[in-house]
A and B are shown apart, each in its own frame.
Chain A
Amino acid sequence: MSIASEANLDAELHAHGDTHGHGSMRSYLFGFALSVILTAVPFWLVMAQPIANPGVTAAFIIVFASLQILVHTVCFLHLNSQSEGGWTLMAYIFTAILLLITIAGSLWIMYHLNSNMMPGMPTGQVANTP
C-alpha cells in the first residue's frame, strides 16, 4: 500500500470517526464497574442462596446477564445508532432475533418432543438418554 493511499485511508477512518471517539477512559471504566457489579451479584445469588426459590434466582440471573451483555455492547463494543450508518445496530438486532429463535425454538421443540414420547416410557428415562 502506497503512502498516499494510506494517508487517504487515514482521512477516511477519521472521517468515519473510527479511530477517534471509539470510547474514552470514562466509558471503559464505567462499563467495567457496571460489569463487576452485574457479574458479582449473580455469583453471590447462586453461591450464598439468599433467595430460597431457585426459579426466582434463575430469573434474576438471566436479567443480570442481559443487562451485562447490553453494557458490554455499548461501553466496550461502542455500538450506537450512528456507527457505519446504523448498519452495525441493524445487524446486531437481526442477530439477536435469530439467536432468540434458535435457542428458544430448539428448547421448546425438544421439550415437547420429550413430553410426547411413547406412553409408558418413564420421563426420567427419556431425560437420561445420552
Chain B
Amino acid sequence: MATVTAQTVPDPTFHLVEADDHAHGSGGGTLLGFWIYLMSDALLFAAVFASFGVLSTSYAGGPTPREIFELPLVALNTAILLVSSITFGFAMLAMEPGKVRTTQAWLLVTALLGMAFVGVELYEFGSLIADGATPQRSGFLSGFFTLVGMHGLHVTAGIAWIFVMLAQIGQRGLIVPNKRRLMCLGMFWHFLDVVWIGVFTFVYLLGMLR
C-alpha cells in the first residue's frame, strides 16, 4: 500500500525523482560523472588562474610579458587547438553511424594537431628558458609556467588517451563502451580548448596590454 501511495502521489523532492530515473542508465551515469570530473578540473584550473592573477605583476626586476611573449606563436597555437576541436567533432560525427576508418582517421588528425600544439609550447618554453626567463626568475614566471604547463600536461594526457582509444577501436571496433569512452574523451578535449581560451586571454593578451 505504501509503495502505491509513493507512486501515485507526486514526490515533493524533484531531484530524488530525477536521480532515481537515471540510476538505470549506466551510460548516462558515466557521462554525467565525467562531466562532474571536468567541472572539478575547472576548479583546479581556477585556483591556478587565481595564483597567476595574483602574481602576474610580480616581476622581481625580471622580464615583463611584453618583453618575452610572441603573440604570432600564441595565435598559431590557438589556431592549432581550435582546428583540433573541430577535427574531434568530425570524429564524433563519423562515430555515430559506426564508420570505423573515418573515426580513426579524424582521431589521428586530432592527435597530430595536439602534438603540434605541445611541440610549439615546448619550443616557446625552451626559448624563454634560454633567454633567462626561467620559472624561478620571478613570481610572474612561476605562475606562467605552472598555468600554461598544467594545460600542456592535460593536452599531453589527452593525446595519450586518443592513442589508447585508437588501439581499442582497432581491436574491438566501435562497440558501445568504446563509443561511451570516445564521448568522454571528446568532452575532455573540448574542455581543454575552453581552458585555452582563458589562457590566451588572461595570460597572453591581457599580459601584452599591461
Contacts and interface: CB of A to CB of B under 8 A. Distances in A.
Interface of A: 1, 6, 9-10, 12-13, 15-16, 18-20, 22-25, 28-29, 31-32, 35-36, 39, 42-43, 45-47, 54, 57-58, 61-62, 64-65, 68-69, 72-73, 76-77, 84-88, 91-92, 94-95, 98-99, 102-103, 105-107, 110, 127-130
Contact of A19 (B21, B75, B96): B96
Contact of B197 (A65, A86, A130): A65
Contacts of B18: 85-87
Contact of B39 (A29, A76, A92, A127): A92
28 contacts: A9-B177, A12-B26, A12-B28, A13-B28, A15-B25, A16-B25, A19-B179, A22-B183, A28-B93, A32-B85, A35-B82, A46-B209, A58-B209, A61-B205, A65-B201, A65-B202, A72-B193, A72-B197, A73-B194, A86-B18, A87-B18, A87-B32, A99-B42, A103-B49, A103-B53, A107-B50, A127-B59, A128-B59
Contact of B60 (A62, A65, A130): A130
The 6 A-B residue pairs with the shortest CB-CB distance in the complex, in nearest-first order: A106-B50, A28-B89, A65-B201, A130-B60, A76-B190, A12-B25
A13 to B, nearest CB: 4
Given A13-B25, A76-B190, 15 more contacts: A6-B175, A16-B27, A19-B183, A23-B89, A28-B93, A32-B86, A69-B198, A84-B32, A85-B21, A85-B22, A94-B39, A95-B43, A102-B43, A103-B49, A106-B54
A130 B58 contact: yes
A84 B50 contact: no
Interface in B20-45: 21-22, 24-28, 31-32, 35-36, 39, 42-43
A15 B22 CA distance: 11
Contacts of A42: 201, 205
A25 B51 contact: no
Given A62-B201, A84-B35, A88-B32, A46 B183 contact: no
A107 B190 CA distance: 27
Given A10-B176, A32-B86, A128-B60, A65 B32 contact: no
Nearest to B182: A19
B139 interface: yes
Contacts, number: 166
Contacts of A39: 78-79, 82, 197, 200
B206 interface: yes
Contacts of A6: 175-177
B167 interface: no
Given A61-B206, A72-B197, A47 B138 contact: no
B151 to A, nearest CB: 15
B208 interface: yes
B90 interface: yes
